[in-house]
Chains A and B, each alone.
Chain A
Amino acid sequence: MIKNKKVQEIGLNFIISLVALVMAIVVGGIIIAVLGTNPFEAYGALLKGAFGTPMATTVTLTKSVPLILTGLAVALAFKCTVFNIGAEGQLLVGAMAAAIVGAYVELPAILHIPLVLLSAIVAGMLWAFLPAVLKQKRNVHVVISTIMFNYIAQYFVQYLILGPFKTTEGAAAQTNTIHQTAMLPKLLPKPYVLNLGIIIAIVAIFVVYILLNKTSMGYEMRAVGLNRNAAYANGINVDKNMFLALLLSGALAGLAGGIEVTGSLNKIVNGFSPGYGFTGIPVALMARNNPFAILFTALLMGTMRSGSLMMQSSVGVSKNMVDVIQGLIIVFLCSEYVIRYYIKKRRSQGGLV
């Protein structure tokens, strides 16, 4: 019976996400049509851009990797009712740390890669630590403080790229290329781009799942998320758990930055992140914070990002249309209670669903 209910709940979540996706695509299509383009052509171009060639497919997969991790970051915090909008900033400093350790430390690959990724994780964690402290000690709203830290990270990284860590190999606004020993191994022969990062991201999914569902730490976090007062009454330290959730979330976002540097970019160029951290929010929301579902929603958002350039160049619809569609997905996801209400109503009237 309990099992049955769980399956039902997963099915319901799936329906809600699907409804939101379809509605967003339809409304997005209407906007495209109003602008004077055939929406089918536009979406066709988007898909072609994302999966048209084997090369494009590997690019799409690679672009989805940071989204898996930022999605996990947002979802993990959400499970404990912490809304971490700061994943973008945490990703930026994580990437920066990876670029520095990758380029200025010399070690054999077997040690170098873990060290680089670890430094990215620590940097991301540190960037989440400050808002977490501000919340716990001074009750500063996490949403506002993490947003502020995004801006601070953006300027800080820009300073490091243009200042102390500016490349010595040329005049471009970027860091030195990291050492060969710090680069993640490629999974496919050149020119395909897929690298070990996707495996790490999938492992991270399992780790987060186990952490949340099979450990007492995760149990406490979820308890806080489900009912703060009940958790408190049962002796769970609410503040401590929210603090931890934000730190772990920062760690995952930092790892996303580290993988982007070691796997794809191999250096940091000013403005390298196309908003991976922010896109993590729709990724997590659409997956209903389920770690395994994040794999698919990240791929979906990665597809949109990856195909949007083709859409822009071939049918002339701005690549920003993707932001509109993602915004619409969130809008329609917020109708969750409405969908639940009507399904419940139908059930109680003896209907099927």
Chain B
Amino acid sequence: MIEYMITSTLRMGTPIALTALGGIMSERSGVVNIGLEGVMLASAFGAVVGSNLTGSPWMGILFAVAIGIVISAIHSVISVTWGGNQSVSSMALVLLATGLSGVGLKAVFNQQGSSPQVANLPNSPIFKDIPVVGEFLSSLSPFVYIAFIALGIVYYVFKYTPLGLRITTVGENPKAAETAGISVAKTRYMCVICSGILAGLGGAFLSIGPMNLFQEGMVAGRGYLALGAVTMGKWSPLGAFGAAMLFGFFEAVQLYVQTIPNNPIPSEFIQMIPYIASLVIMATTMNKSLNTGIASSGKPYTKFVQQR
């Protein structure tokens, strides 16, 4: 039971955690990226296409990451160069991703609603020979390890490197950053594209991780949950990762409750659990006086917009 819950939590939490790390990258540089939901969706589709074309799920991941880069590049053009409203631009990404994956399903597979089955990523057999924990470790998807590695990298970058400091400066006070010779635009472009890569990995996990096909609407708000995790984790990589895994836990609970025979609770209410839980947790952890977030988050810094 405990092992089942741990495995299940890791499985449900990993895509949210990867995307939440992406959210951290983007938000810490001062760019709101609600479009991560769209990035996940498009990448989930890209992963299936890549796996289908090449027969290799690893190529599928590469496709997913490439799509993540393209979609987030659009977002960075809008929000960094053009100075457009970042929440609004993010909505455009979600619409674009919904549309393109639907159009793509018809164009590539000539199907609607879902794709045919493709080769998916096997679990991690390389850990098989480790005593005691080998069986458990090898039963996890490689994505789980990728997520933890990503956490390590993001944590290290923000904690110990000049680059992390630069990103933070750009997010908090772009004018000061520019005065110090840091290119605000370049830093933000880099961060938004990194967030696209991470959310792309998260999306790929959804379609070619434990599953082996793409379905319309399969992201089901996980991109938004990831952003909730970023806020709850107070913009720290560890906090956001932890919050994402908490959401993963609630999804695992939801899945578990559904398998209980003769359960009196209607399944619709069980399916609401992750969303309600995220609202309740946000409502209890947020505080009006604290937690102001990133100072220049959502504020464009470009010649096209008058600086106040």
Enumerate chain A interface residues (CB-CB to B < 8 A): 31, 35, 83, 85, 134, 137-141, 143-145, 147-149, 151-152, 155-156, 158-159, 162-163, 278, 281-282, 285, 316-328, 330-331, 333-338, 340-341
Number of interface residues of B (CB under 8 A): 55
Q: Give bound CA distance, A151 to B225, whole Å.
A: 11
Q: Do B107 and A139 have beta carbons less than 8 Å apart?
A: no
Chain B: CB-nearest residue to A34: B107
Chain B: CB-nearest residue to A158: B268
Q: How many A-B residue pairs have CB under 8 A?
A: 152
Q: Please tell me which one of the listed residues A140, A155, A330, A337 contacts residue B269 in the complex, with CB atoms under 8 A apart.
A: A155
Task: Indicate whether B130 reaches chain A with its CB closer than 8 angstroms.
Answer: no
Task: Indicate whether B287 reaches chain A with its CB closer than 8 angstroms.
Answer: yes
With known contacts A31-B103, A151-B275, A318-B106, A143–B87 Cβ distance under 8 A: yes
> Across chains A and B, which 7 residue pairs bring their CB atoms closest together, nearest first?
A320-B102, A334-B84, A323-B99, A327-B96, A324-B99, A327-B95, A330-B92
Enumerate chain B interface residues (CB-CB to A < 8 A): 34, 74, 78-79, 82-85, 87-89, 91-103, 105-107, 112, 220-221, 224, 227-228, 231, 266, 268-269, 271-272, 275-276, 278-279, 282-284, 286-288, 291, 300, 302-305
Q: Do B228 and A144 have beta carbons less than 8 Å apart?
A: yes
Chain A: CB-nearest residue to B84: A334
List, in ascending order, chain B residues with CB within 8 A of A281's CB. Answer: 88, 91
List, in ascending order, chain B residues with CB within 8 A of A141's CB. Answer: 231
List, in ascending order, chain B residues with CB within 8 A of A333's CB. Answer: 84, 88
List, in ascending order, chain A residues with CB within 8 A of B279's CB. Answer: 134, 140, 145, 148-149
Q: Do A330 and B91 have beta carbons less than 8 Å apart?
A: yes
Q: Do B303 and A341 have beta carbons less than 8 Å apart?
A: yes
Question: A254 to nearest B CB, angstroms?
Answer: 20
Q: Do B303 and A155 have beta carbons less than 8 Å apart?
A: no
Q: Please tell me which one of the listed residues A35, A278, A330 contacts residue B103 in the complex, with CB atoms under 8 A apart.
A: A35
Q: Give bound CA distance, A155 to B275, whole Å.
A: 11
With known contacts A138-B282, A338-B304, A85–B275 Cβ distance under 8 A: no
List, in ascending order, chain B residues with CB within 8 A of A336's CB. Answer: 82, 84
List, in ascending order, chain B residues with CB within 8 A of A148's CB. Answer: 221, 224, 228, 275-276, 278-279
List, in ascending order, chain A residues with CB within 8 A of B89's CB. Answer: 330-331, 334
With known contacts A320-B102, A321-B103, A334-B89, A155–B283 Cβ distance under 8 A: no
